[in-house]
Structures are given as C-alpha cells and as structure tokens.
Structure 1
Amino acid sequence: MKPKLHKLKLSPEYFRDVRSGLKTFEVRKNDRSYKLGDLLMLREYNPTTKEFTGEAVLRRVSYMLSDPVYVKEGYVILGLDSSRR
C-alpha cells in the first residue's frame, strides 16, 4: 500500500528543531487517520505573517503513540524518521 502524504504547518521554532534532527516526534490531533509509514511534509509557517516561508522537510512516520493513558484522547504522538528507506 502506498503511504499517504500529509502536508502540515509547523511554526519556525519547531521546524528548525525537526530539520536539525533535535526534534524527532510530532504531537498532532489525529484528524487525518495517520498510519505507520505515512509521509509528513512539514512546511515552515510564520503565524505572524500567516504565510509559508518556502522551507519544508519530509519525514516518515516510524512510530505512533495514541494510548489515552499517555496522550490526550483524539491526539497522537508521531515518531519521525528522516532516512530514505
């Protein structure tokens, strides 16, 4: 099955950390039916100007945590993998 591509906004401070490899996860509302292996196109978005900066990174969902004991119901923590597998 072909992985789904999700295009998501990311604030500059979080975008920098994902791009550098410091931040390897994303917490999101699970309103897109994320699945392991899906691709996330994380696009840098400036909330002040309400515009995209043109910068983007591609990450694969390598892990998902949605257990309500640890994550608010309706949300998911997505592990991000930057390898080209």
Structure 2
Amino acid sequence: MSVTHHLKILPPYFKAVEDGRKNFEIRKNDRGFREGDSLCLHEWEDDVFTGRSVDVVITYVTDYMQKPGYVVLGTERKELDEMTEKSQ
C-alpha cells in the first residue's frame, strides 16, 4: 500500500521540481519512504506555506553516500491527467 507524504520545500527547489529540472529529494528517512509512495511538496517561504504544491511519485530510494539516516529519493512528476483520473 502506497502512502502520500506531505513535505515542506523551499521556493528555489519547488520551482526546479515544478519545471521538471529536479527529479530527486534528499530527505531524512524518518517516514520509511518506499518506491511507489507519493510526495506532496508544499512550497514554504518565510515560515509560511505559499499555497502552492506539486505532487511526485517516488521511483527509487537509496542511502548510498548519504549521512546516516538520510536517503535520496528518485521522483517523477505526477501528470495532471493521472491525478484527475484517480480523483474520479
């Protein structure tokens, strides 16, 4: 069963995910991230949410060469069609 994780993301990184230039996240693995889980990345600026978010799916998880307890999450943007289809 996949899980959706809601996470904060700073504006420069949010923009890179939104533009499709950034397809990974480096995160503390305090949530047990797994392939197939979703991330809802909420833009966070000046200690408040901006109201913007982007949804991605985790395609790969590795802790290779990371600080203890951290992982690299390979991600892929969820397409609007896919999100609309699932909400129906």
TM-score, length basis structure 1: 0.88
RMSD between superposed Cα atoms in Å: 1.2
Runs of 4+ in 1 over 4 A off after TM superposition: none
Give the counterpart of 1:77 among 72, 81, 85.
72
Q: 2: CA distance between counterparts of 1:63 and 1:33?
A: 13
2:86 corresponds to which residue?
Answer: none
SS in 2 for 1:53: strand
Alpha-carbon shift at residue 83 of structure 1 (Å):
4.2
Alpha-carbon shift at residue 82 of structure 1 (Å):
1.4
The runs of 5 or more residues in structure 1 that have no matched partner are none
2:6 corresponds to which residue?
Answer: 7
TM-score, length basis structure 2: 0.85
Q: Percent identity?
A: 41
Number of residues of Structure 1 aligned to a counterpart in Structure 2: 80
SS in 2 for 1:14: helix
Post-superposition CA distance 1:5-50 (Å, at most 9, x none):
100000001000001000110000000010110000000000x2x1
The runs of 5 or more residues in structure 2 that have no matched partner are 83-88
